[in-house]
Structure 1
């Protein structure tokens, strides 16, 4: 039979017209590149360690508890990405964990009426005060204002002239909750009321939070569900190792040959320049990207991580090969100008495995370089193969395109050597046919802006029948991934006046076009 049918029997006797539909030449590769946010839940209806889809902030609050770490992560996510699918992976509070806390003390009543411009975890909590108020009444008003905003990750109690803030969730990340005044300063119309005495935590943060959640069960429960972008807000060695093993290149990893799920793990870390530099030197993962940010930023690391993930997903779904630089992290508050990393510090951090951010003209942080923590090969030698998230994002797109083409067009084919004479329409494939298909797919990928240099790709592409297994084809696939415009360097070799030499005279006297190569008209 010259044409290979998959379903219509060869010995059918019943007339007349029978049709078999074959989609193998029509379909285009489609995949839903989900984001996954993981963090501690408090209350809520979700079951710990089980991922659930979330479509709105109201759903996140109901599932994970309003003001919880994970609920706050969704607030940051939706501020940066409203269009793409996102799930939540709730974690129970670690056994024996402690909440973080801090005190705000009122020492003097104001001599002029005004507003206390309080910020908790980067959120604005205004409190109006009068000259008739006492320290005790002001403390009570602050507690009422804090508790009136149920989205905050803290609860407040007032005793005499002291307000105690306690984190809603228990973990080491509760120490990321910042307490500050007058973020926008006097130029932004914010200053402490005259005469008011107010004392904030010495460090500017809640302290005393302990406990790191276990990810073992949560990761196991993910199974082989595809999640391309994971916001993982814990940067201790154990947590990073567990997620690197899940998403890495081992046999059992999502980038390994058995699973072929791919994906990225995204986080953020607060620290001084020196602390982040030392931290970066300890890391080496091609699937993890950790954004470093300044100590003085009012926004917590778990919200930085979520915003970074949201913008990564939104951009890479559109085009995985475009750089993420200049994408704003909305509603994330930057450190004050005098406390931001400078050029040298940012450059050094990026050179040591830390993703970096800069501040845009609108005052919002924006991604400057989506660095992964990968820095060395297996022998500990400097290597930049997986240095940027765009590399693996582009490669994942190519491999998915290729897998779709092969599995759609050759799902139940026979395998023959090149040169075999067989009838047209038969479900037979040869190494040459496969090679032609791979070249055709590469041309399409090049048209889509994912790869370049078709000539050298064809020269280096190898497709061969396995000498020890007649049913197997081996392929050496050598794509040249397209690069990104990241540096634009200019040598401004100026002159005050060009010499009035012979060339200038020729140009000035010529009536014809000037030949730049010969210097003649």
Structure 2
């Protein structure tokens, strides 16, 4: 019996017609590349800490993690940037012994005219209307009431009466990133119709940030509870060395990492960090991971780092699911507020930040921050020498797609095959594979991947591809797989060598060389 059947017995006697269905030559690789938002929940949420759960709407995020919580706010940023892909939440309990950040708004003088206080909490607009008859304590109470009325805000407010006329803001949860909650006024300025009413004076927390927050989550249980579930795009906003190390170990290239040979789950970790140019430059020099990408943004941005991280992961997922090899540059972060024009990083600063392992953003035509370069923190090889192998998110995203395509092809077409040497004569239809057959399959898959715009240079791929039977294990095939990943158009350099006027003599010589001699008679 030359044809290899998987299910129909060779000794069947009962007539007549029996058929088994074999899908090995029909299927196409398909995987649902999920996103995962990682953040602290509040006591109002009903989710179990450290256990990932799927989330289908903002209402579900609010219910499971608590309105105004770090994780709920991350989902607001996610859904503003990605409405189409699957996303899960990984809720964290408040760290033991942690503290919530706080800050004070003080109403110093009452207004002489009616108007609106355009207050922004964590980038969210909180308008407060005032009149000339309002006293400073009335205004303070109105500010507190407006803040508390918005359940989505990450703070609660308590007003103290005159003579203090203050509003104390306290973060909804405890943890170090509550220090990244901003308080600002008049984001769009007078040209945008936002200014304090005449006579009204208000002071905000120093540098426009809450202070006093402390406590970083311990991720051991959360990471363990992820198990072998695939999570391709993880928004993890904590950028302390310990947290980044834990997530690098989970997603990295070690035996136990998701990019390691045992698990083959792959994936990326996206984060964001607020800071001055000098602080961010020094921060970038401390990290070196091919699976982590940290977006640098300015101190003056009203949006918190956890919302930047969520928006970054959301836009990366939305784009890379469609095509993992296309650059992410020019993708806008919707509803993320950028720093003011005079407070943004300049060209030289952005270039240096990218050269030191940080992803960078700049302002697009829609006045929203947009990705300029999706840099990872990877900068050096094992010997500390500069290296750009994993410099860009698209590199590993493309490689993951190739490996999944290859795995699908091999496991679908050769799931229960016998292995023989090249040149072995066997009947057609036999479930036998040789190194040459496998090599042909890999070349065919490479051609499909090239057609899909993932790789290039088929000729050299064929030259360097090696498929051989292991000399010590007759049941094993070893493959040296050398794909040439397609690149991205990131720099378009032009030398504009202009003239005020071309030399007429040279033009005449050229024209004369390219045209037949003038013949008056023939043109008569």
Instruction: Give the Cα separation in 1 of the matches to 2:54 and 2:197.
Output: 45
Instruction: Give the Cα separation in 2 of the matches to 1:202 and 1:481.
Output: 48
Report the counterpart of residue 245 of structure 1 in structure 2.
249
| TM-score of the pair, normalised by structure 2 | 0.97
Q: Could you tell me how far 1:310 is from its partner in structure 2? A: 0.1
Runs of 4+ off more than 4 Å: 508-513
Report the counterpart of residue 278 of structure 2 in structure 1.
274
Report the counterpart of residue 522 of structure 2 in structure 1.
none
1:446-491, Cα deviation, whole Å (9 max, x unpaired) = 0000000000000000000000000000000000000000000000
| TM-score of the pair, normalised by structure 1 | 0.98
Q: Could you tell me how far 1:511 is from its partner in structure 2? A: 4.9
Report the counterpart of residue 169 of structure 2 in structure 1.
165
Q: Could you tell me how far 1:501 is from its partner in structure 2? A: 2.3
Residues 6 and 506 of structure 1, relative CA distance in 2, 3 Å threshold: same
Tell me which moved more, 495-504 or 421-430.
Answer: 495-504
Report the counterpart of residue 467 of structure 1 in structure 2.
471
Instruction: Give the Cα separation in 2 of the matches to 1:202 and 1:189.
Output: 25
Instruction: Give ranges in structure 1 of 5+ residues lacking alignment.
Output: 514-521
Report the counterpart of residue 97 of structure 2 in structure 1.
96
Q: Could you tell me how far 1:507 is from its partner in structure 2? A: 1.6
Report the counterpart of residue 439 of structure 2 in structure 1.
435
Report the counterpart of residue 146 of structure 1 in structure 2.
147
Q: Of 198, 212, 219, which aligns to 2:216?
A: 212
Which secondary structure state, in structure 2, belongs to the residue aligned with residue 163 of structure 1? strand
Report the counterpart of residue 521 of structure 2 in structure 1.
none
Instruction: Give the Cα separation in 2 of the matches to 1:48 and 1:239.
Output: 17
Report the counterpart of residue 368 of structure 1 in structure 2.
372
Q: Could you tell me how far 1:508 is from its partner in structure 2? A: 6.5
Output aligned runs, 1:94-493, within 5 Å.
Answer: 94-160=95-161, 161-493=165-497
Which secondary structure state, in structure 2, belongs to the residue aligned with residue 256 of structure 1? coil
Q: Could you tell me how far 1:505 is from its partner in structure 2? A: 4.1
Does 1:29 find its partner at 2:34?
no
Which secondary structure state, in structure 2, belongs to the residue aligned with residue 266 of structure 1? strand
Q: Could you tell me how far 1:362 is from its partner in structure 2? A: 1.2
Q: Could you tell me how far 1:97 is from its partner in structure 2? A: 0.5
Q: Could you tell me how far 1:277 is from its partner in structure 2? A: 0.3
Residues 499 and 145 of structure 1, relative CA distance in 2, 3 Å threshold: same
1:105-152, Cα deviation, whole Å (9 max, x unpaired) = 111110011100100000000000000000010000000100010000
Which secondary structure state, in structure 2, belongs to the residue aligned with residue 170 of structure 1? coil
Instruction: Give the Cα separation in 2 of the matches to 1:512 and 1:271.
Output: 69
Report the counterpart of residue 17 of structure 2 in structure 1.
17
Aligned residues: 513
Report the counterpart of residue 519 of structure 1 in structure 2.
none
Q: Could you tell me how far 1:510 is from its partner in structure 2? A: 5.6
Instruction: Give the Cα separation in 1 of the matches to 2:189 and 2:337.
Output: 14
Instruction: Give the Cα separation in 2 of the matches to 1:497 and 1:358.
Output: 38
Residues 512 and 130 of structure 1, relative CA distance in 2, 3 Å threshold: farther
Q: Could you tell me how far 1:387 is from its partner in structure 2? A: 0.2
Which secondary structure state, in structure 1, belongs to the residue aligned with residue 3 of structure 2? coil
Report the counterpart of residue 517 of structure 1 in structure 2.
none
Instruction: Give the Cα separation in 2 of the matches to 1:187 and 1:111.
Output: 21
Instruction: Give the Cα separation in 1 of the matches to 2:424 and 2:378.
Output: 47
Instruction: Give the Cα separation in 1 of the matches to 2:516 and 2:299.
Output: 65
Which secondary structure state, in structure 2, belongs to the residue aligned with residue 99 of structure 1? coil
Q: Could you tell me how far 1:409 is from its partner in structure 2? A: 0.2
Instruction: Give the Cα separation in 2 of the matches to 1:505 and 1:426.
Output: 73
Q: Could you tell me how far 1:509 is from its partner in structure 2? A: 8.6
Q: Could you tell me how far 1:504 is from its partner in structure 2? A: 2.9
Instruction: Give the Cα separation in 2 of the matches to 1:484 and 1:361.
Output: 22
Output aligned runs, 1:57-72, within 5 Å.
Answer: 57-72=58-73
Residues 508 and 133 of structure 1, relative CA distance in 2, 3 Å threshold: farther
Instruction: Give the Cα separation in 1 of the matches to 2:252 and 2:510.
Output: 65
Instruction: Give the Cα separation in 1 of the matches to 2:505 and 2:429.
Output: 73
Report the counterpart of residue 520 of structure 2 in structure 1.
none
Which secondary structure state, in structure 1, belongs to the residue aligned with residue 207 of structure 2? coil
Instruction: Give the Cα separation in 2 of the matches to 1:496 and 1:267.
Output: 50
Tell me which moved more, 499-508 or 237-246.
Answer: 499-508
Considering only aligned residues, what root-mean-square deviation do their CA atoms show, in Å?
1.0
Instruction: Give the Cα separation in 2 of the matches to 1:125 and 1:371.
Output: 35
Which secondary structure state, in structure 1, belongs to the residue aligned with residue 337 of structure 2? coil
1:131-190, Cα deviation, whole Å (9 max, x unpaired) = 000001000000010001000000001111110110001000000100000000011011
Instruction: Give the Cα separation in 1 of the matches to 2:361 and 2:508.
Output: 48
Instruction: Give the Cα separation in 1 of the matches to 2:201 and 2:394.
Output: 51
